Structure 1
Amino acid sequence: MTGPEIKGWCPGALRPMQSGDGLVVRIRPFNGRLRRAQADGIATLAAAHGNGMIDLSSRGNLQIRGVTEKSYPPLIEGLRRMALLDPDEAVESRRNILLTPFWQTGGETETLGPALTAAVSAEDAPVTPGKFGYAVDTGREPVLQNASADIRLERDAGGGLILIADGSDKGKAVTVETAADEAIALAHWFMENRGDHTRMAGLLAEGAKLPADHFVPRQQQSHRPAPGYTPLGAMIGLAFGQLTVETLASLAKQGGLRMTPWRMLLVEGAREFPGVEGVITDPNDPLLRIVACTGAPRCAQGLVETRPLARQLAPHLKDGQFLHVSGCAKGCAHPRPASLTVTATTEGLDLIRDGRASDAPEQTGLTPQEIPETL
């Protein structure tokens, strides 16, 4: 049996990816934020040049779906006019930068985000693998430790900035002025030592030793993201990280949007949850504890319609259980272990406990009707 195709890179706007429902065009908002006009403009462009569906990725990016070869050029021109594009494909591929959504106006994150963007966009920046990325997680306590990133900026217990290689429990002390350059230096170190590795944690797990100045203990994350009010606005959830153009346009009327890796958006300045169809406001909604990839037929490699199955299984989840429904063994939507994973195969559905979509299953060949009995 032929396995799923591993592309090894993420789509962009300048390098879209072909999927079962057309081209996927990924927009990487600068500094993790969309102004109201930009969010509304994206909704308009997605309605005119896509199929009306938009994904919020686990890296805090928006993906317009259903784009055709004919509609792609006017879509790109529209994004360019809204200043949402990088100068070229090479820069775009390196600018995988995730920012904490809880930054304050005038704070250090507002400086660090643009500084790191400029550093990875420079001509002499290291050409890192396609999924290699950075996190600016510089609130008082970290909130992005469970999100995908290879080089991280956090605060130590005393409030100082530290640079961390993902997979290490210690970091290097840096300042606001030196942080971006130090991050690039660490990326260069990775490229010089990586061998066949494409991610930092894999390299360190194999035994690579960081420079001796990485000795400052990092804090452990206690933050658990959920819909609710924050001093900056309202956090709302999106089932499976997907929204329609109508939902995006409605949210844009409420305020600027800050991206998150949690399939949630922070709506700036909102004093109450926006009464918008398709958003989750209940922090106890079991859909918040389910990740499901696009699945068939929108993904050419998907073997089942994942999201209807996920909705069917949601009422059967027990407290504390986290479910990943994957249309194939790649597990794109959640590459890490989950307490429960349902993976589609050509022989039926596999159930995996405390593992990834590609791990050995506990049960195989299940039907959708049999899965609830096993959870």
Structure 2
Amino acid sequence: MAAAANRQLQETVVTGLRRGACPTLAAPMETGDGLLVRLRPAGGALTVAQLKALASAAASCGNGILEITARGNLQVRGLRPDSVGTLALAIDAAGIVVPPGPAIELSPLHGIDSAELGDAAALEAQLRSTLAGKLQSADIAPKLAILVDGRGVFCLDHLSADIRIVALAGHDWLVAAGGTARVAWHVFSGGIDGAVTAVGHVLDILIATGRHSRARDIDIETLHAAFPEAPQSISFSPSRTPVPGILALPDGRAVLGLRPRFGQMRADALRAFLADLADDIEIRLAPDRQLFLTGLAAAEAETLAVRAGSCGFSADPVDPSANIAACAGAGACASGFYDTRKLAARIIDTAPDLLDGSLTVHLSGCAKGCAHPQAALTLAGRGNAYALSMNGKAGDPPDATIAGGGIESAIERLAQLAGTERRAGETVAACLQRLGASTIAKALQQD
């Protein structure tokens, strides 16, 4: 089935590319460094051999840059129209199954976490087999977010989803629509068959609402009418989000969580890291630009955590680079005005106080904002200058414009300002919000 799907992708002619669509193998997205493809393997899992093969294909078919997105998907950059089919062939040859339709996100520990209340992978398989026609409908939004949470050691409450299916005690499942776990609308609770049927009804509503509709487009009265016996609000105990580091499992094995610096991996460094890994180790993709290595002995996990640093990965859950979202930047992308990675390293070295975890610093080489579509403390390349938005997107009107040569001193002044003006117990984000964009802009543009 996977081979047939991939062969169909190989025959696809790359035409009519547009931004805003999900950049799959069948519909790559044009960027400043060529074509970009996003994929999520079944279960979000790859073997060591499969990831090695994908790294090699990224180097031969693209520019050798792979990325893990904020939702735990893989991206291959720098492809050409004539190399997309070759990439699809390599994916097929490696035995990587990329299910058609929207990505279905699972916890990185699904199937190996003894604390899980439900089998998320089994539910994903039933969704895809039972609802294949709806999931693959041309009317379904390509970026529709579907999440299956088995409620184990790691949970996915913080992730927003159009449809979320959450395991309950007693082998039951909760189906909810829209938003994070805190705000999603509960529409069904019960056994797995009923949960799959309920998901199908939500997909029907999305299709009827309009082509490429998302959960936010559904009128609440429509949901009430479709699910008149919807469960009352169900509360969950506080959950732990996936974070880098070593996690000991009850069976004596260990899991190692790693975050590539700024979510980006170079094919040669990735292959070097994977070179000596045993074939039975599995790599699980995770939200917040992470990957998890499973099936490790405790000592092996400790050794790999140290070695990972030289290959561009961090096992530190509070690594300051996690607070910086940086695009490919100049040198890797023709649209990039500046070297985002170089500036990111400079910020970590000279302005670490900005990276207290209360805000995201978004470094965008141009106004497109590929690395972080949400509002943040944003520096976007504009012509030969930097557009600074205190809490905006890369394409928003800036709060200040900083000449190219003055960006490092401006960043240092911003860090000094935050350090001087912060009140006891106040975060950097709260301090900057209190000071206001106009005050900060004046301070940054002082000679």
Using the size of structure 1 for normalisation, the TM-score is 0.83
For residues 375 and 158 of structure 2, what CA distance do their matches in structure 1 show?
Answer: 12
Work out whether residues 10 and 131 of structure 1, in 8 Å CA contact, stay in contact via their aligned partners in 2.
Answer: yes
Task: Give the residue type in structure 2 aligned to 1:180.
Answer: V
> In structure 2, what is the Cα distance between the partners aligned to 1:26 and 1:348?
31
Mapping of residues 66-81 of structure 1, within 5 Å = 66-81=78-93
2:127–2:196 CA contact under 8 A, matched in 1: yes
Query: Per-residue deviation at 1:359?
Result: 4.6
- Residue 373 of structure 1 and its aligned partner are, at CA, apart by 1.7
| Counterpart mapping for 1:77-116 below 5 A | 77-84=89-96, 86=98, 92=100, 94-105=101-112, 108-116=119-127
User: Relative CO higher for 1 or 2, CA cutoff 8 Å, sep ≥ 6?
Assistant: 1
Distance change >3 Å, CA 182–CA 226, structure 1 → 2: same
In the TM superposition, residue 55 of structure 1 has moved relative to its aligned partner by 1.1
**Which among 243, 256, 261 is matched to residue 282 of structure 2?**
256
**1:373 alignment counterpart:** 413
Residue 308 of structure 1 pairs with residue 334 of structure 2: no
| From 193, 206, 226, the counterpart of 2:209 | 193
Matched with 2:382 is: 345
Show the counterpart of 1:223.
Answer: 240
Structure 1 residue aligned with 2:162: 150
Aligned to 2:23: 11
Aligned mate of 1:234, from 240, 253, 256: 256
Q: Aligned partner of 1:9: which letter?
A: A
- Residues in 2 aligned to 1:145 and 1:299: alpha-carbon distance in whole angstroms: 34
Unaligned runs of 5+ residues in structure 1 are none
Preserved contact between residue 206 and residue 213 of structure 2 (Cα < 8 Å): no
CA distance 1:138–1:124, change in 2 (3 Å) = closer
2:354 paired with 1:324: no
Question: Which residue of structure 2 lines up, in the alignment, with residue 210 of structure 1?
Answer: 223
Residues 160 and 355 (structure 1 numbering): CA distance in 2 closer, same or farther, change over 3 Å? Answer: farther
Separation in 2, partners of 1:61, 1:40: 17
Which among 43, 46, 53 is matched to residue 58 of structure 2? 46
2-structure distance, mates of 1:82, 1:180: 31
Distance 1:198 1:326 in 2: 28
Deviation at 1:150, TM superposition (A): 1.3
Compute the displacement of 1:25 (Å). Answer: 2.9
Counterparts of 1:254-293 in structure 2, within 5 Å, are 254=278, 255-270=281-296, 271=298, 272-273=301-302, 274=304, 275-276=307-308, 277-293=311-327
Change (3 A) 1:124 1:301: same
In the TM superposition, what is the alpha-carbon distance from 1:11 to its structure 2 partner?
A: 1.1
Structure-1 residue corresponding to 2:427: none
CA contact (8 A) 1:296 1:327 kept: yes
Match of residue 44 from structure 2 = 32
The alpha-carbon distance between structure 1 residues 31 and 215, as it changes in their structure 2 partners (threshold 3 A), is same
What TM-score results when the alignment is normalised by the length of structure 2? 0.71
**AA paired with 1:99?**
L
Q: Is contact 1:169-1:217 (8 Å) kept?
A: no
- Cα separation, 2, equivalents of 1:70 and 1:170: 44
**In the alignment, residue 96 of structure 1 is paired with which amino acid?**
A
Q: Do the aligned residues in 2 keep the contact of 1:58 with 1:262 (CA within 8 Å)?
A: yes
| 2:177 counterpart of 1:165 | yes
- For the residue of structure 1 that corresponds to 2:159, the secondary structure is coil
Deviation at 1:267, TM superposition (A): 0.4
Q: Give deviations 1:239-297, integer Å, cap 9, x for gaps.
A: 11111223433337252100012111000123324113211022222001111122345
The higher radius of gyration belongs to: 2
Distance in 2 (CA, whole Å) between partners of 1:372 and 1:139 is 42
Q: Aligned partners of 2:155 and 2:399: how far apart in 1?
A: 32
For 1:308 and 1:154, the matched residues in 2 are separated by 41
Deviation, 1:155, is 4.0
Give the corresponding residue for 1:117. 128
Is the 1:131–1:198 contact (alpha carbons within 8 Å) kept by the matching residues of 2? no
Counterpart amino acid of 2:196?
Answer: A
Cα distance change, pair 359–125 in 1 and its aligned pair in 2 (3 A):
same
Q: Distance in 2 between matches of 1:216 and 1:141?
A: 25
Note if contact 1:238-1:278 (Cα within 8 Å) is conserved in structure 2: yes
Q: Any conservation in 2 of the 1:20–1:297 contact (CA below 8 Å)?
A: no
Which range moves more in the overlay, 306-315 or 30-39? 306-315
- Give SS of 1:223's match: coil
Normalized per residue, the structure richer in helix is 2
Alpha-carbon distance in 1 for matches of 2:381, 2:171: 45
How well do the aligned residues superpose, as a CA RMSD in angstroms?
A: 3.1
Cα 1:215–1:319 shift into 2, 3 Å: same
* CA displacement at 1:43 relative to structure 2: 2.1
